[in-house]
Copies of this chain bind each other. A is one copy, B any other.
Amino acid sequence: MNFSSKLLESAVAEFAKLPGVGQKTALRLVLHLLNQDKEEVAQFSSAISRLRNEIQFCGTCHNISDSATCEICSSPKRDHSIICVVEDTRDVMAIENTNQYNGVYHVLGGLISPMDGVGPSDLQVDTLVERLKEGGAKEIIFALSATMEGDTTIFYLHKRLKQFSINISTIARGIAFGGELEYVDEITLGRSIVTRVPYQHSLS
């Protein structure tokens, strides 16, 4: 592209580094910001730099937090004997939105992926082991994506954690609520037949 201004060009280049944002979208976003009030843009810019400079991670569960211990880990209302292991903060948000879980979390910060060069040492695995050594936990729930990376991570964590006498479970897999059988993929359907559960009236 043929920019009439170096300032414009560098702002577009910065936006185009974001995932899923190309040159044309970046230009559209930048021209939108140019049409806003100076205060609005200053607020946008400072929200980003404050986020990166001031954000903290909870010392217990490693979730994004504004303080050294997050609200969930410091709440006396939560059941601290159940730890749900998730990939990142988005999963914590998704599970919190269901209102079905009252335990605490452990955020790994990623999944084991040899293809992307992510090993256990890049994740919050040792801190999870330390947390269990301290005692108090009765159950670990793996709530990881049903992908190869998720399965690899569960396999590895299970090996590391079986030394502790705690229950280890994974979230249930099967056909989604409201899903039509006809459109379910073969692997999910096959596994959901193999792992069928006794009929319970309240859950049907």
The proximity string for A residues 26-61 relative to B, scoring 1 for CB distances below 8 Å and 0 otherwise, is 011111111010100111111111111111001000
Q: Is A3 an interface residue (CB 8 A)?
A: yes
Q: Is A124 an interface residue (CB 8 A)?
A: no
Q: How far is the CA of A21 from the CA of B88 in the complex (A)?
A: 21
Copies of chain A in the complex: 2
The answer to whether B29 and A43 touch across the interface, beta carbons within 8 angstroms, is: no
Q: Is A172 an interface residue (CB 8 A)?
A: no
Chain B residues with CB below 8 A from A41, complex form: 48-49, 51-52
Knowing A14-B47, A48-B45 touch, does A7 contact B55 (C-beta < 8 A)? yes
Chain B residues with CB below 8 A from A167, complex form: none
Q: Is A145 an interface residue (CB 8 A)?
A: no
Q: How far is the CA of A94 from the CA of B171 in the complex (A)?
A: 52
Q: Is A70 an interface residue (CB 8 A)?
A: yes
The answer to whether A19 and B5 touch across the interface, beta carbons within 8 angstroms, is: no
Chain A interface extent, by class: 35 or more
Min distance, Cβ A35 to any Cβ of chain B, angstroms = 9
Knowing A31-B89, A89-B31 touch, does A48 contact B14 (C-beta < 8 A)? yes
Chain B residues with CB below 8 A from A55, complex form: 5, 7-8, 34
The proximity string for A residues 1-13 relative to B, scoring 1 for CB distances below 8 Å and 0 otherwise, is 1111111101101
Q: How far is the CA of A8 from the CA of B7 in the complex (A)?
A: 27
Knowing A5-B66, A89-B4 touch, does A30 contact B45 (C-beta < 8 A)? no
